Structure 1
Amino acid sequence: MNVDVDWAQGELAQFLQLTELYRAPDPPGIMVIGPRKANRGSQEDIIASAHVVEQILDRVLPRWRAEVPASPRVNRWSQHREAVQRAVVVLQRDAEIQGRLGDDAPQLNAASLHAWVWSAAQPLWRDRHFREAVTAAARRVNRETQNKVGRRDVTETPLFQTVFSKDDPKPGQPRLRLMPDDGSDTFRSVQRGAAAFAEGCYAGIRNPNSHEDGLPELPEHEALEQLAAFSVLARWVDTASLVQ
């Protein structure tokens, strides 16, 4: 979990302060009988804080909306408060737990993937539609590649085979170069590898995800690995030189 822990803890603590319930004083000259509690902060301040807190919760406790019970009769923010309290514990003890229960190997942060990939996948990912999220990312990488080379007549594997071809560009068929064409074996290897990698992404990942009915949902870690593959391809396309 790649999170600025100090910053996140500060935001969560502020939200807990704003949403704390207290017995509001009775209006002047009026005695109110029965429980009468209000949040310490204004609704305007709480809503502004919640905008940030919800994004922290989505990262730290991705299923908090489904797993933390909502109690609107108690208070509008009761679900948020319980989720925040859980997230505080996670942030405080995550490093300790990881160190004691498993190795502390680096973890892949989805937000660090190429923007084409994560921006396309994120809405579906939050709803835990992992297979559809990968498909959305694959489509976005294909579309951005078409945009870069100005072609709509080819798509996916044929598109990448053409743009990463070692051959010189032709009218209407520009190339993407990952390194200058110096005639070396390295150049030929890099271009051939990029074309083969793209074919693997679309033939081995995108097509099964999109065309096979009745497939079980992908495990989250497998879907993240597949997104990482498309992130590599996206970065190559984004940084490649366009040769016309």
Structure 2
Amino acid sequence: MSIDIEWARGELRRFLDLTELHRPPDPPGMTVFSTRKTTRGAQADIVASAHVVEQIFDRVIPNWRAEVPSDGNMRVNRWCQHREAAQRADAALQRDAEVREHLGDDAPQLSASTLHPWVWNGARALWQSGHYREAVTAAARKVNAETQNKVGRRDASETALFQSVFSRDDPKPGQPRLRLMNNDGSDTFRSLQRGVAAFAEGCYAAIRNPNSHEDGLPELPEPQALEQLAAFSVLARWVDSAKLAT
């Protein structure tokens, strides 16, 4: 689902208005000599608004907690990091399409939040903290766990599990199958079952295992990690849409 840009920008502007520092007006009939400033909005309103805008940040600038400086004027305004993030996110929402058009890169954009929920829910926390390789591993584990849940098995996992559940053989006691189409004996049926099992083996052998077992590997670049998440999203959608045969 794409972002409602007008709504998102409105929420960002509201947050910026609430967290703007100003000198409170003097009480009636009094003149107060003070340089003290306070936010325009009440703390409760700011906290409620922050809950919303942080989710916008996660969509527009996913690594904002690391990219946006958190020092500087924090003592003056505790929301200064959020304010800068809001300004950056607003600029990105306003001008992203324009920038991509003028720079010649108006290709469709893939957002992690549009991936299958098993994948993004498994990866979200690690992804947002910049641990991309671990996020992919967590997503792989989530897909494996949800597949086990669907077929009611704990005695097999990962490659062995997918080879079993997408086997073209008839189901057996303790070995249910997943079918993407009715077993009509056609080449299409055989191709689908074989293809999904092979795809799953590739995901776990070439993506999950190196990410999990190799010490000292450098952090995955974000675009590469997103591609790997997308691979597991494809697998998750096949599993989720398949019919259980027992």
Cα distance in 2, alignment partners of residues 58 and 140 from structure 1: 21
Correspondence 1:10 to 2:10: yes
Match of 2:85 among 79, 83, 86: 83
Shift in Å, 1:42: 1.0
Cα distance in 2, alignment partners of residues 186 and 64 from structure 1: 46
Partner of 1:38: 38
Shift in Å, 1:207: 0.6
Match of 2:125 among 123, 126, 130: 123
CA contact (8 A) 2:165 2:176 kept: yes
Q: For residues 55-134 of structure 1, what are the structure 2 equivalents within 5 Å? A: 55-70=55-70, 71-134=73-136
Partner of 1:174: 176
- Give RMSD over aligned pairs: 1.6
Which consecutive residues of structure 2, in runs of 5 or more, have no partner in the other structure? Answer: none
Partner of 2:193: 191
Shift in Å, 1:45: 0.8
Match of 2:227 among 205, 214, 225: 225
Cα distance in 2, alignment partners of residues 162 and 63 from structure 1: 39
Which consecutive residues of structure 1, in runs of 5 or more, have no partner in the other structure? Answer: none
Cα distance in 2, alignment partners of residues 198 and 77 from structure 1: 45
The alignment partner of 2:244 has SS state of strand
Cα distance in 2, alignment partners of residues 147 and 215 from structure 1: 32
CA contact (8 A) 1:2 1:107 kept: no
Cα distance in 1, alignment partners of residues 211 and 63 from structure 2: 23
The alignment partner of 1:217 has SS state of coil
Matched pairs, number: 244
Partner of 1:238: 240
- TM-score, L = length of structure 1: 0.95
Shift in Å, 1:56: 1.0
Deviation string, structure 1 residues 198-228 (Cα, Å, up to 9, x no partner): 1111111111111111111111111111111
Cα distance in 2, alignment partners of residues 122 and 28 from structure 1: 51
CA contact (8 A) 2:159 2:200 kept: yes
Shift in Å, 1:21: 1.7
Partner of 1:23: 23
- TM-score, L = length of structure 2: 0.94
Deviates more, 1:92-101 or 1:30-39: 30-39
Q: For residues 125-164 of structure 1, what are the structure 2 equivalents within 5 Å? A: 125-164=127-166
Instruction: Give the share of equivalent positions with the same residue, in percent.
Output: 73
The alignment partner of 1:176 has SS state of strand
Deviates more, 1:183-192 or 1:33-42: 33-42
Shift in Å, 1:32: 3.5
CA contact (8 A) 2:171 2:177 kept: yes
Paired residue type of 2:66: A
Deviation string, structure 1 residues 74-105 (Cα, Å, up to 9, x no partner): 11222211221222222111111111113211
Partner of 1:47: 47
Shift in Å, 1:68: 2.7
Compared with structure 1, are the counterparts of its residues 66 and 194 closer, same or farther at alpha carbon in structure 2 (3 Å cutoff)? closer
CA contact (8 A) 2:166 2:197 kept: yes
Shift in Å, 1:165: 0.3
Shift in Å, 1:193: 0.5
CA contact (8 A) 1:125 1:133 kept: yes
Paired residue type of 2:118: W
